[in-house]
């Protein structure tokens, strides 16, 4: 039997429109008109090529009925809406073993929009300062007996740079176990029910930390001020910027605590390894426009639709391309890489658990795919008894590094 489109039920879950459709239809015109930097062109090309013949793949054949199916390779670019499912599943497996039986808190550190021009021209520097200022604020409040718990916190921080309409909105989500390990490692001090730190002092402390590190970077000539941001690069311009920021309330928002580890995992599954917009939110692509759904936070999260010209949609999407090699999920305190092997088992012991959780059997890629799609993708979609077997390799038509990910076209973020 010749190769044919996959009739498996999970394929019906594929969105009708994708970011890839926008780039394939209008990407070349955007590149000619706007001359985006190489990093943006690379992301666009990766998304355009993902799971197409351009990246090659392989052919599978049923060992019972002879049905053949083509599985194209994925681009594995972290900005691609189709390439995060397996990475996220593996990451969540590792995080599940680190969860503690305590309430968890969710804090969000947001940069004022007055910093957007500077941040867009200095993404790595500004994002690094954001991580550092937020982390040091939480660590110091955790140690403080007046505001905090008098011990060592542990927490994870996740960088997001977008809002529901794809505007540039830089903020850091922090997930914090509700308690602290004493300096001598002999006590676990739990947080008060539903309360971690007072928000206003934490916000002011965070603002001071961030502006101190930003001023230090400016004095060391580590910031760039191209184009319209050039006036900020003068001593007077930078002074006026920081002076204005000192007078602006900074937002540190603490959400209600999670009641247990299961809710934490649900949160992590929705917030980690996300890109600016999922394909399932795109409702139409055509006539030079892109329509997508969003939740209006100012109207109790009401679901609405926004239509943008394709160049504007592309511009907004590319605002959120991260610097190459930048780590957007980081761990601190007793969850930091250097401390976790020593501190996390001690936290578990003090909470009445075994020092190390049981090690679950590692799931294979096929197992994870079956878990994510609720379908055994190794079974033939045409006959009930056959198994899909590797038949042959399809050559790569483009030098973009291929990564074989059979059946992943059916797995996409629906958030």
**pLDDT tens track for 64-118:** 999 999 989 989 999 999 887 777 777 787 788 889 999 999 999 999 999 999 9
Least confident of 6-10, 244-248, 400-404: 400-404
Residue with the larger pLDDT of the pair 347 and 370: 347
Least confident of 93-97, 218-222, 408-412: 408-412
Residue 402 pLDDT > 50: no
Distance CA 124, CA 327 (A): 10
Q: Give the predicted TM-score (pTM) of the model.
A: 0.88
Please classify residue 393 by burial: count the beta carbons closer than 10 Å to its beta carbon, then call 0-12 exposed, 13-18 middle and 19+ buried.
exposed
**pLDDT tens track for 304-328:** 999 999 999 999 999 999 999 999 9
**pLDDT tens track for 180-207:** 999 999 999 999 888 889 999 999 999 9
* Percent of the residues in the chain that have a pLDDT greater than 70, as a whole number: 90
- Burial of 297-335, coded b for 16+ CB within 10 Å and e otherwise, reads eeeeeeeeebebebbebbbbbbbbbbeeeeebebbbbbb
Least confident of 98-107, 189-198, 213-222, 264-273: 264-273
Q: How confident is the model at residue 371 (pLDDT cuts 50, 70, 90)?
A: low
Q: How confident is the model at residue 173 (pLDDT cuts 50, 70, 90)?
A: very high
Mean confidence (pLDDT) of the chain:
87
State residue 403's pLDDT score.
Answer: 39
């Amino acid at each position: 039997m010749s190769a044919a489109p996959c009739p498996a039920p999970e394929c019906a879950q594929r969105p009708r429109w994708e970011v890839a459709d926008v780039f394939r239809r209008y990407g070349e015109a955007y590149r000619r008109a706007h001359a985006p930097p190489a990093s943006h062109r690379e992301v666009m090309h990766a998304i355009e090529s993902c799971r197409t013949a351009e990246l090659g793949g392989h052919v599978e054949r049923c060992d019972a009925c002879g049905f053949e199916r083509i599985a194209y390779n994925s681009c594995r670019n972290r900005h691609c809406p189709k390439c995060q499912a397996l990475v996220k599943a593996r990451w969540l497996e590792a995080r599940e073993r680190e969860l503690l039986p305590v309430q968890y808190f969710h804090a969000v550190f947001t940069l004022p929009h007055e910093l957007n021009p500077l941040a867009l021209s200095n993404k790595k520097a500004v994002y690094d300062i954001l991580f550092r200022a937020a982390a040091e604020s939480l660590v110091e409040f955790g140690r403080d007996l007046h505001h905090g718990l008098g011990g060592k916190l542990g927490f994870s921080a996740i960088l997001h740079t977008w809002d529901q309409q794809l505007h540039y909105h830089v903020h850091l989500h922090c997930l914090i176990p509700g308690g602290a390990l004493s300096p001598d490692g002999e006590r676990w001090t739990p947080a008060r029910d539903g309360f971690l730190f007072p928000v206003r002092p934490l916000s002011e402390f965070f603002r001071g930390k961030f502006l101190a590190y930003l001023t230090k970077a400016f004095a060391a000539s580590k910031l760039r001020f191209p184009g319209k941001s050039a006036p900020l690069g003068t001593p007077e311009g930078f002074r006026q910027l920081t002076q204005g920021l000192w007078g602006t309330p900074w937002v540190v928002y603490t959400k209600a605590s999670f009641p247990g580890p299961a809710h934490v995992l649900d949160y992590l599954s929705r917030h980690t390894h996300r890109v600016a917009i999922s394909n399932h939110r795109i409702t139409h692509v055509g006539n030079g426009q892109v329509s997508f759904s969003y939740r209006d936070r100012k109207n109790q999260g009401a679901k609405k639709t926004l239509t943008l010209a394709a160049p504007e949609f592309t511009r907004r999407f590319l605002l959120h391309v991260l610097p190459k090699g930048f780590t957007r999920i980081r761990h601190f305190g007793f969850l930091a890489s250097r401390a976790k092997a020593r501190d996390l088992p001690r936290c578990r012991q003090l909470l009445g658990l075994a020092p190390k959780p049981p090690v679950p059997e590692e799931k294979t890629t096929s197992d994870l795919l079956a878990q994510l799609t609720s379908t055994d993708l190794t079974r033939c979609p045409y006959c009930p008894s056959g198994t899909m077997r590797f038949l042959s390799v399809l050559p790569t038509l483009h030098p973009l590094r291929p990564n074989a990910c059979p059946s992943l076209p059916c797995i996409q973020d629906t958030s």
